[in-house]
Amino acid sequence: MPDGDRMPSPEEPQYIRDLRTDRPHPARVYDYLLGGKNNYAADRAAAEAGKRANPNSLIPPRENRAFLRRAVHYLAAQEGIDQFLDVGTGLPTSPNVHEVAQAANPAARVVYVDNDPIVLTHARALLVGTPEGRTKYIEADLRDPEAILNAPELQATLDLTRPVGLLLIAIMHFVPDEAGPLDIAERLLSALPSGSFLALSHLTGDFDPKAWEGVAAIYRKSGVIMQVRTKPEVERFFDGLELVDPGVQSLPRWRPEAPAVGTAGAVTDAEVSVYGGVGRKR
């Protein structure tokens, strides 16, 4: 039996054993595209269908992880941010946020948020921070920011009178316009003090609209809403914030690192099709 269709372990909580896994979840599709094993048949089917519509579908997840690492390192090492709220964290993939942040500051604190109980089960088992720092996990939905902000785990871990790094990485394209994605981001930011930062990445159809329209249509048929957005639409998430140089860019163009010797050549904007940026709350 493939491990994605495995029999549940008796040690798993009842809510995990009862969870429907016959439909894809963005976090598990993303895990599969990154080469992970914590996914199910429905997740793999959606991912493979997406790859047929756009053969470059493996590139955005990889570039998102690289951007996340660079953004968190920048915030922790250069801006002195030692508290992070990672909403839509996905399944653990090293290096995780707390590993990057605590490498710069061992006392850094991180709260992870996801609405997939399977993600949170893996997170609790695998995401162990430094003795000086703290990591906590909240099962909550991005579309309910009040549940996130009022969670006891968040209030016990983060000091919201001090700057926080809010991470919305590869998550807002799963929030359609009618669900108010800008309002959601604004509400989360409104709870954070001056000097906090937003790091965000978002799929776009600007470079290859036909391919990403096809991917979005396939996801919709699977019950997953995906809405790619233009650069001006992505920039609106940073309204009222002071954008960190170089602004909103295709991910590899945001503070790129020198490639390691022997690595593959640079990817094109069309292959990546994700914008990212970091902004400071005044």
pLDDT tens, residue by residue, 19-46: 567 778 777 776 777 777 777 788 888 7
Residues 83, 108 contacting (CB under 8 angstroms): yes
pLDDT higher than threshold 50 for residue 16? no
Which has the minimum average pLDDT: 155-159, 198-202, 260-264? 260-264
Q: In the chain, count of helices (H) and strands (E)?
A: 12, 8
pLDDT higher than threshold 70 for residue 110? yes
pLDDT higher than threshold 60 for residue 235? yes
The domains located in the chain, with CATH, are 66-207+229-253+268-281 (3.40.50.150)
pLDDT in the model for residue 265:
60
pLDDT higher than threshold 50 for residue 1? no
More confident residue, 162 or 123: 162
Q: Which residues are paired to 165 by β-bridges?
A: 84, 197
Rg of the chain taking only CA atoms, in angstroms: 18
Distance CA 69, CA 249 (A): 16
Q: How far is CA 206 from CA 86, 180, 210, 213, 228, in A?
A: 26, 21, 10, 11, 9
Distance CA 170, CA 167 (A): 9
What the block records as the tokens of 263 is 């690595």
Mean confidence (pLDDT) of the chain: 85
Question: Taking residues 247-268, what's their average pLDDT?
Answer: 79
